[in-house]
Structures are given as C-alpha cells and as structure tokens.
C-alpha cells in the first residue's frame, strides 16, 4: 500500500505541474477567415458567385456568362487574378482575394474620367449579354430594357429613373452623329414615345434587353427595324 500511495502522489504532482504550466500563444494561421466568411470555390452556385464573376469581369479576367455557377471558367479567371496580385493561386475566393477585389471595386467620383466610367458600364453590360429577358426585371436573373439600363448605372452608383420614358427626361440630348460609348439610345416601338432603350457601345452598335430575342443582345444601330424606330439619344454621364 505504501508503494501504491507514493505512485499516486507522484502522478498527482505531475498533473498539477501540467495544469499550471504557462500556455504559449497559438501560432497565427495565415489567411484565416472569420467565422462568417463565405469561401467561394469550384462547384458552388449562388448570388455571391455571380458577384465574384462580375468583379472579375470588370477587370478583364472573366469573360463567361454571369450565371452564378462556379465552373472551370470562373476558377481559371480567379487563378489568373490571384497570380497577378501575388496571392496563392488556388482558385478559391477567400478573405484575401475578396478583400482585394472589393478594394478595386469602382466607386465613381467627381475626379474620375467620364470615359472611364462609360467603359466600365459597357464592360459590365457585355458581361450580362445573353441574360434572359423578363418583363419588369431589373436584376441578373432577368431584365426588361429599362431595368437593364437601370441596373447597369445603379451598379456604379449612378441613379436613373426605372422606366424608359422617365430615363429619356434625364441628361442631355445627343445627336446621332455624336454618340459616344455609354450614351443611351431610345426607340419608339410597341407604343409611341420612348418605349425601348439601349446602351450605345461604340462602332454603331448598342446592347439592350430585347423582348423579341428573349435575352440581352448587341444590335447594329442601323438595322432596319431600329433605324426606322430610332427616337433619340441622351447622355447621362456628366463630363464628356
């Protein structure tokens, strides 16, 4: 019993020493994410992926459809972005990657060149090409003509009225021979007055949500139908 008692005392002493040893700080983990951070990766499909695709597209990395599906095209675009910004090229949008993308997000200001804003709006417009037409729609899930224009400008914090005839009252008139990228072009289609609107993208073409085509398309401005129904143009980006 004496020997057993001594062994118990030794064990208890060791436990006490273990318990009261000072704890060393845990090493910091690089690129650790907060608990509420959503990591975007291959195979996911949601609105956050759509935002990621839009941001990558704005900077020339992603050229596919803005559909919210994280496929191989999105992964390769993300890897290219990560390489250019000295990030681990793992094709996963974590905290560091998303932070840099958001810091690069365009916030138009008074000292920003108008033609730069116009090009950014046009780039986003092209990324949304083939988005389905939806009557009353004003989101990447589906657009009508004025909802499409409203979304493009609202994305860059440039506010427009929602309806085509109201948008036609904003900005300054522009002659057809003086159109510049980012101008709005209007047509009298299913009803008199400005009932259809598109975004002029240069080279005598405009992009718009077409009910006839059932999606967002690019159309020559001198096509027979739209030339015959052309109403006028407005410039809403100040500074040109």
For the annotated catalytic residues, the residue numbers are 145, 196, 208
Write the burial class of residue 228 (CB in 10 Å: 0-12 exposed, 13-18 middle, 19+ buried). Answer: exposed
The residues, ordered by sequence, that sit 6+ positions from 112 with a Cβ below 8 Å of its Cβ are none
Instruction: Tell me if residue 208 falls in helix, strand or coil.
Output: strand
CA–CA separation, 188 vs 70, rounded Å? 39
Give yes or no for a contact between 47 and 67, defined as CB atoms under 8 angstroms apart.
no
Write the burial class of residue 186 (CB in 10 Å: 0-12 exposed, 13-18 middle, 19+ buried). Answer: buried
């Amino acid at each position: 019993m004496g020997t057993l008692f001594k062994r118990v005392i030794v064990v208890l002493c060791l436990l006490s020493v273990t318990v009261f040893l000072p704890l060393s700080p845990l090493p910091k983990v690089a690129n650790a994410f907060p608990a509420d951070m959503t990591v975007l990766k291959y195979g996911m499909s949601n609105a956050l992926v759509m935002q990621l695709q839009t941001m990558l597209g704005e900077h020339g990395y992603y050229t596919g459809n803005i559909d919210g599906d994280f496929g191989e095209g999105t992964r390769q675009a993300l890897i290219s972005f990560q390489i250019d910004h000295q990030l681990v090229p793992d094709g996963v949008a974590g905290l560091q990657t998303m932070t840099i993308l958001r810091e690069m997000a365009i916030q138009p200001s008074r000292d920003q060149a108008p033609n730069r804003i116009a090009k950014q709006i046009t780039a986003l417009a092209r990324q949304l090409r083939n988005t389905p037409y939806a009557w009353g729609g004003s989101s990447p899930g589906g657009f009508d003509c004025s909802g499409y224009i409203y979304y493009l400008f609202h994305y860059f914090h440039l506010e427009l009225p929602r309806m085509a005839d109201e948008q036609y009252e904003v900005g300054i008139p522009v002659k057809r021979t003086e159109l510049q990228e980012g101008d709005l072009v209007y047509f009298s289609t299913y009803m008199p007055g400005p009932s259809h609107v598109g975004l002029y993208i240069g080279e005598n073409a405009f992009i718009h949500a077409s009910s006839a085509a059932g999606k967002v398309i690019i159309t020559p401005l001198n096509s027979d139908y739209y030339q015959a129904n052309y109403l006028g143009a407005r410039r809403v980006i100040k500074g040109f």
